[in-house]
Amino acid sequence: MLRDKIATRLQEIQQKGGLWREAEVLGVDVEARTVELSFSSEVEVERWFGIEVLGHDRGEYDFARLNDSAPILWNHDLDDMRGVVEPGSARVDVDRKGRLLARYAKDEAGEQMLQRINDRIVTKVSVGYRVKGMKLVEERNDVDVYRINAWEPFEVSMVSVPADITVGVGRSLVARGEGPWTDPGLRSEEMPPEDAAPSSGNTAPVAADTGTRARNIMIEKVTRDAKGNLVRAHVDENGAIVEVLEVIEPATDEVRQGQQRGQEAERTRMRSITELGRQYGQTELALQAIADGNTAEEFQRMLLQKVTERSGQPLGEQMRDAEIGLSNQEVRQFSFIRAIRALLPNATADDRKAAAFELECSRAAEQKYTKRAKGILVPADVLNRAFSTTNPDAGPGSNIVAQQLLASSFIELLRNRAWVMRRATTLGGLVGNIDIPRQKGAAQAYWVGEGGAPNSSEPALDQVSFTPKSLAAFTDITRRLMLQSTPDAELIVRADLLQVMALQIDRAAIYGNGSTNQPKGVTLQTGINAVPFAAAGKPTFEELVEMETKIALGNADVESMAYAFNAGIRGYAKTALKFPGTAASGTIWEQGNTVNGYATSVSNQIEPGDVLFGNWADLIIAMWGGLDLTVDPYSLSTSGGTRIVVFQDVDFNIRHPESFCYGTAAAAH
C-alpha cells in the first residue's frame, strides 16, 4: 500500500539521521558581526530515496530550534561554537526560501570566523535538518518525488569541506564519519554512488583570488589553538589561526581540563544570557551582552533597566515578540465565531473547512509558545492588533457595540476594562517561567581623604519570580448569535470575553490566595503595610493619612500613588467630612475624584470596607502569549446555547512590598 511505502521510506530516512543542504551566504555585516544565510527552498534535490522537495507552507517547517539561539559551529564540532542564530531571524520569506541571520561572538574564534567569511576564505555553509513527515506527490520516470511536509533544521556549520553542492546531500567528510560530529542519535545519510550524475545549477561561485588573498595576509606564529595545543601556525592580521603547520607540544591534561572548564563556563554564560533575553523579548540586548563579554549578573542589571523602560510601553507593543507573523489582512480574517463553530462536537466538515485558517494559526501558536491548546490558541497577533471592518454599521446589533471595539486591540481593551491593569506594570508576550531582577538595597557612598578610594559597592539584587497560572473565564452566547457571521456578532463575543476576563484579573490581583492554581494578590503579599480601621466601611481621614505615612516611612512614596476601593467607600467618602464638625474642611472625596490629592480607582471587585493605597506601578502583571479558546456545548444544551471558555496565562507579583498599604476593619487584621 502507498501509505506503508511512505511510512517505510520515512523510517529509513530517520534511521539514517539528518539530511544536509548547502546554505548560501547572502551578505556580511562586519560591524554588526552578522552574516545572512539563505538555507532552504523548494528547489528539487536528488536524494538516495528519490527527488526531495522541502515544503515551505506554514506548518510544514519547524524553526523553533533555530530561533532558540541555535549555535553556529565550525565543521559540525559541538565543542567549537563560533556564534548563534539570532533568535527570531529564521523565517520563510515570500519567495518561499528559508533565511536566517547568524551572529558571531567577539571572542578569538568568533572574530576569526567572521573575518574568514568576509575575506571569502570560508565560503561553505552546511545546514542539517531532520525529516519528520513526507508525502509522495508523483512518480516521474520511475523516480519517486516526495514533498517533505514536516522538517526541522537542527544545526548550522561553517565548513571547510561542504556537503556536495551539486546535489545537496550530506557528502562532507563529517557526513562520512571522518569528522567530529557527535550529536547522539544522529547519523549521516547513506551516500549515493560516487559516479552518480550530479544536478547542475547550485554551484556557488568562489573568488579566484581567495587563496592568494589568504596567503598575503597570513604570518607564521607560535601560539596555542582552541584545544590548548602549542602550535606553529599561519595566523591572519588579527592573530586568528588560519592553518596549523605543526603541533609543537600537545596540551597536557591540566591544560585541556582548564580549556574545557573555560569552554563550559563560556557556554553556560551564553546559555544563561540567551535564555534571559528570550524570556523578556530582549534578544538583541542579550546578543550584545554575549559579544561584549558581560557576565550573567551584569546582564541582569541591564535587564532591570530595560524592564523599567519597557513598562512604559503599551502592552500590545510588548507582546510583538509573541506574534506568529500574521499580516494585518490575516488578522482581520481571524474569526472567533468560526473557531468556536469548528470546536463544537456536532461541527460539520464545512465548519472545519471554514475555520481552516484559524486552526492553522492555532497550530503555529502552539509551536511558538510551546504549549498545547485545550481548544484553539488565538495568537498574539490577533490579540494585539485592532479588529476592524469595512462596514461597522451593518447588522441589527451595531447600535449596542461600542465604536471603540472597532479601533482597538483585544489586549488593549482588556487593559482598559481591568482597572488594575491600567495602574500596574504589565509585561506581555512572555515564554516560560521568568525571574525579574530586583534591586534590594542601594549602593553606598563614603567620605574619603585626598587620594583615597571608596570601598567597592554594588546594589544588592534578588529576583521576582513568575509562573504561568491559567485564568479561566466563560461567557454564554445564544444559538441565534452563533448563526451570525456579521462583524457585529464577532464584536459582541469579544466584548463579553473581555468583560469576564477583566473582572477575574481585578479580583485575583487583590485577593488571589497564591494556592489552588491562583496567583497571589496584593493583600496576601508578605511585608506590605497595614492600617486597621476602627469602624468597618468608614475609614477616617486620619486613618487614610496613616496609610500614606506608612509608605512614606518606607521611602516608597511617589507622586503617582493611588487609592482603590469599591463604590460603597466612594459613597461614604462623598459625605464624610475630613474633620467631623468642621464643614470648612471639606469631604474626604475631593473635586477631581481624588482623596487627599491622590488619584482613585473604584471597583466592586474590592471587598466592602477595604481600602488599598500604594504605588501600583510596583505591582507587576505578567501575561504569556496566546488566548486558549474552547467551548462547553453541554451546560446550555437545553436552550441550544454555547458556553465559551477562555484560558489566559497570567501571574502577579510585587517589586517592593513597602509600596503598598492595606486598610480594613480591625477585626479583619
Strands 660-665 and 642-654: unpaired
Cβ-contact 289, 263 below 8 angstroms? no
Best mean pLDDT range from 204-218, 266-280, 298-312: 266-280
Q: The domain that contains 663 carries what CATH number?
A: 3.30.2320.10
pLDDT single digits (tens) 529-586:
999 999 999 999 999 999 999 999 998 888 889 999 999 999 999 999 999 988 888 9
Closest CA to 631 of 613, 610, 645: 645
Within 10 angstroms of residue 334's Cβ, the number of other Cβ atoms is 21
What is the rounded distance in angstroms from the CA atom of residue 168 to the CA atom of residue 166?
6
d(CA 481, CA 489): 6
The reported pLDDT for the residue numbered 148 is 93
Q: Which of 163-177, 287-301, 314-328 has the lowest mean pLDDT?
A: 163-177
Identify which of 121, 114, 205 has the alpha carbon closest to the alpha carbon of residue 160.
Answer: 121
Sign (positive or negative) of CA dihedral 528, 534, 537, 542: negative
- Residue 242 near residue 218, CB atoms below 8 Å: yes
pLDDT confidence bin for 661, thresholds 50/70/90: very high
List the one residue out of 146, 128, 150 whose CA is nearest residue 138.
146
State the average pLDDT over residues 418-446: 70
- 442 is a domain residue: no
What's the pLDDT at 485?
A: 55
Three-state DSSP state, 204: coil
Task: Tell me: pLDDT of 442 over 60.
Answer: no
Arithmetic mean of pLDDT over the chain: 76
Q: Which of 500, 475, 436 is nearest to 652 (CA)?
A: 436
| Better pLDDT: 40 or 12 | 40
Q: Is residue 460 part of a domain?
A: no
DSSP secondary structure code for residue 581 in this structure: T
Helix (H) or strand (E) holding 245: strand 241-249
In the prediction, which pLDDT does 179 show?
33
Work out the average pLDDT over 622-648: 80
The residue ranking higher by pLDDT, 343 or 488, is 343
* 274 located within any domain: yes
The domain tally of the chain equals: 5
User: How far apart, in whole angstroms, are the C-alpha atoms of residue 260 and residue 265?
Assistant: 8
Separation CA 216–CA 453 (nearest Å): 50
- Do 128 and 14 lie in one domain? The reply is yes
pLDDT at residue 534 in the model: 93
Q: What is the pLDDT of residue 313?
A: 52
CA distance 314 to 324: 19
pLDDT above 90 covers what percent of the chain?
21
Tell me how far apart the alpha carbons of residues 60 and 132 are, in angstroms, rounded to a whole number.
Answer: 10
Q: Sign of the CA dihedral 473, 478, 483, 486?
A: negative
Q: Does 62 share its domain with 170?
A: yes
Say whether pLDDT at 100 is over 80.
yes
> Are residues 271 and 283 located together in one domain of the fold?
yes
Same domain, 187 and 275: no
Are residues 32 and 83 in contact, defined by beta-carbon separation less than 8 angstroms? no
Query: How far, in whole angstroms, is CA 565 from its chain's centroid?
Result: 35
Total H helices, total E strands in the chain: 20, 28
DSSP for 480-546, written as a single string:
HHHH--SHHHHHHHHHHHHHHHHHHHHHHHHH-BS-TTPPBPGGGSTT-EEEEESSTT---HHHHHH
Task: Confirm whether 111 is domain-assigned.
Answer: yes
Neighbours of 88 (CB within 10 A): 19
The verdict on residue 230 lying in a domain is yes
Q: Cell triple for residue 461? A: 539584587
Radius of gyration of the chain (CA): 31
pLDDT tens profile 509-534: 999 998 878 899 999 999 999 999 99
Confidence of residue 407 (pLDDT cuts 50, 70, 90): very low
Asked if residue 151 has pLDDT above 50, the reply is yes
Q: Which among 362, 341, 363 is positioned nearest to 631, based on CA atoms?
A: 341
| DSSP code of residue 180 | -
Residue 213 in any domain: the answer is no
Say how far apart CA 122 and CA 538 lie, in whole Å. Answer: 78
**Nearest in space to 77 (alpha carbons), one of 3, 176, 156:** 156
Residues ≥6 apart with Cβ < 8 Å to 484: 337, 395
Nearest to 129 by CA among 50, 203, 55: 55
Phi and psi based region of residue 203 (left: phi greater than 0; alpha: psi -120 to 50; beta: remaining)? beta
Better-scored residue on pLDDT, 573 or 184: 573
What is the maximum span of the chain, computed from C-alpha positions, in angstroms?
A: 106
Whether residue 479 is found in the same domain as residue 347: yes
Q: Of the candidates 405, 414, 400, which has an alpha carbon nearest to the alpha carbon of residue 473?
A: 414
Average of pLDDT values for 251-258? 75
Please tell me whether residues 502 and 557 are part of one structural domain: no
Cell readout for 27 is 551578505
Residues 6+ apart with CB under 8 A from 72: 81, 82, 83, 84, 85, 102, 104, 113, 156, 157, 158
pLDDT, position 520:
93
Who's near 158: CB < 8 A, 6+ residues apart? Answer: 72, 73, 74, 75, 82, 113, 116, 117, 122, 124, 125
Q: Which comes out higher in pLDDT, residue 389 or 62?
A: 62
**Is there a single domain that holds both residue 408 and residue 297?**
no
Q: For residue 167, give the 3-state DSSP assignment.
A: coil
The vertex-146 CA angle with 141 and 152, nearest 5°, equals 155
Q: Nearest CA to 357 among 389, 394, 382? A: 382
Same domain flag for 72 and 8: yes
Confidence band for 421, pLDDT divided at 50, 70 and 90:
confident
| 387 and 424 housed in the same domain | yes
The whole-number average pLDDT for the span 141-165 is 78
Least confident interval from 375-389, 491-505, 568-582:
375-389
Of 60-74, 214-228, 302-316, 491-505, which gets the smallest average pLDDT?
A: 302-316
Give residue 17's pLDDT band: very low, low, confident or very high (50, 70, 90). Answer: low
Asked if residue 573 and residue 472 are part of one domain, the reply reads no
Q: Which helix (H) or strand (E) holds 83?
A: strand 77-85
Residue 524 covered by a domain: no
168 torsion bin: left (phi>0), alpha (psi -120 to 50), beta (else): left
Same domain, 148 and 242: no
Q: Which of 18-22, 43-47, 297-301, 412-416 has the lowest mean pLDDT?
A: 412-416
Lowest mean pLDDT among 79-83, 240-244, 521-525, 601-605: 240-244
Q: Are 622 and 482 in contact (CB under 8 A)?
A: no
The closest of 646, 159, 191 to 374, measured between CA atoms, is: 646
Paired strand residues for 649: 470
Q: Is residue 22 part of a domain?
A: yes
Dist CA 606 CA 603 (whole Å): 6
Query: Between β-strands 50-54 and 143-159, what pairing exists: parallel, antiparallel or unpaired?
Result: parallel
Domain that holds residue 276: 263-310
Owner of C-alpha cell 517533505 = 148
One-letter-per-residue 3-state SS of 543-554: HHHHHHHHHHHC
657 with 647, same domain? no
Mean pLDDT (whole number) for 203-208: 34
Helix H segments across 186-249? 210-217
| Residue 377 C-beta-side C-alpha neighbours within 13 Å | 24
